[in-house]
Amino acid sequence: MGCVNRAIIKSGVLLLLVATGLRAQTDSPSSTQQQGQSSQPEQSQSQPAPPAANDQNEKKTQYENGISKDRLGFALPNFLTLENAGQVQPLTVGQKFKVVTRSSFDYAEYPWYGFLAGMSQAENSEPAYGQGATGYAKRYGAAFADGTIENYFTSAILPSVLHQDPRFFQSGKGGFWRRAGYAVSRIIVTRGDSGNTEFNFSEVFGSGISSAISTYSYHPQEDRTLRNTASVWGTQIGWDTVTYVVKEFWPDIRRKIHKEKQ
């Protein structure tokens, strides 16, 4: 059950991130409007760059070979999320494995898994691991392996075999519920390397395969049951769904935070 607990913790952290960002987005609307009104005469005298040019410059700095440089919460790798990308070239097999490797072993992942292992130890999930430094090390290794195996199967191995695109393409259109619904649908709908819309075999079956591998290999013997595997599979799907929703709205939150800092 350690995978389930970690997924719940991760979902809570991401939802807290969104809530914090949305609060920052709505904290000072009146002051933002006043600043816009007071600076309007000065702006009318200047000649700002066209919006299209700004968008192009932003994309040049944000993307490299169809891969993002963004970080979720300014920390966690978000390299497979593209904002309003439209038609882009599919990733090669080499690019898929390269970006997953880069994400899985990014410097931010090590303290992140350390945090998850600490939470698992505090809850004494999977008691067979024990406590103390040895128990923590086992939980840390399991958390790191769980995340890495799933990343490779859902974003590199199956997308390469099935010719599917592992990237998340932000919608950015419509209201909150429309965009949230779009993000949730990406769990079962994805873009193929051909550009066509396809069933997301990579996500659904990749999560299932990784859940079976982790459950029946290095997790405690008492957790190696079909029921637990199905539970972990479902939890992984739920966690990835929450992640997609956060990815849909994170660019808006990030831009808002940057503007308020200026």
Q: How confident is the model at residue 175, as a pLDDT? A: 92
**Rounded Cα gap, residues 120 and 127, in angstroms:** 10
Q: Give the three-class secondary structure for 125.
A: coil
Q: Give the three-class secondary structure for 53.
A: helix
Q: How confident is the model at residue 249, as a pLDDT? A: 94
Measuring CA to CA, which residue among 133, 101, 93, 102 is closest to residue 117? 133
**Rounded Cα gap, residues 213 and 87, in angstroms:** 35
Q: What are phi and psi of 166, to 5 degrees?
A: -80, -5
How does DSSP assign 26-41, residue by residue?
A: HS-HHHHHHHHHHTHH
Q: Give the three-class secondary structure for 77.
A: strand
How far is residue 218 from each of residues 6, 138, 206, 209, 224, measured CA to CA in Å? 16, 9, 18, 14, 9
Cβ proximity of 84 and 172 under 8 Å: yes
**Rounded Cα gap, residues 1 and 112, in angstroms:** 19
What is the average pLDDT value for the chain, to the nearest integer? 82
Task: Report the C-alpha dihedral over residues 234, 235, 237, 238, rounded to 10 degrees.
Answer: 120
How does DSSP assign 206-223, residue by residue?
A: HHHHHHHHHHTTTS-GGG
Point out the residues of the chain with pLDDT beneath 70: 1-64, 85-86, 262
Return the domain boundaries, the chain: 2-7+64-70+78-83+91-257
**Rounded Cα gap, residues 256 and 258, in angstroms:** 5
Express each pLDDT in 178-192 by its tens digit. 999 999 999 999 999
Q: What are phi and psi of 80, to 5 degrees?
A: -105, 25
**Rounded Cα gap, residues 176 and 257, in angstroms:** 19
Provide the token pair at 183.
Answer: 């993000």
Express each pLDDT in 241-255 by its tens digit. 999 999 999 988 988
DSSP 187: T
Bridge partners (DSSP) of residue 3 are: none
